[in-house]
Amino acid sequence: MGHDPKELQTVMAAACPPDLELGFRPMFGGIMGYAAGQAFASLSNVGLALKMTGADHAAMRAVPDVRPLRYEPDDPPSKSYLLVPDAMLSDRDSLRSWIARSAAGLKPTTRTPRKKLSEGK
């Protein structure tokens, strides 16, 4: 443990595939990464976790040192977010490939923005 979410954001942005537009927002003391308006990455003090589904989840789970995301040791493991091993954080090509696979299944959001409380009066 002991990762800096801001440093992870820099690492992730540097490894991002050129055709993928990333967005980041502070969330619960960490940072969430977004693509196509959908959350797909968690950057926190425990590391960088990517949301993986289906065959990609199984493939990434087979990578040495990959484990399900847990913010606290007693938390149940995430069923969809997997922590990227520390060694992969310095392997830009490998990280880029997993970022691309994680974001590939995202569909752009089409929901309308929420109304501000003052607009409803």
CB 34 within 8 A of CB 7: no
pLDDT tens per residue, range 5-48: 999 999 999 999 999 999 999 988 899 999 988 999 999 999 99
pLDDT value at 120 more than 70: no
- pTM score, whole prediction: 0.85
pLDDT digits (tens, 9 = 90+) for 57-108: 999 999 999 999 999 999 999 999 999 999 999 999 999 999 999 998 776 6
**Structural domains in the chain plus CATH codes:** 5-120 (3.30.1460.30)
CA dihedral sign, ordered 67, 93, 101, 41: positive
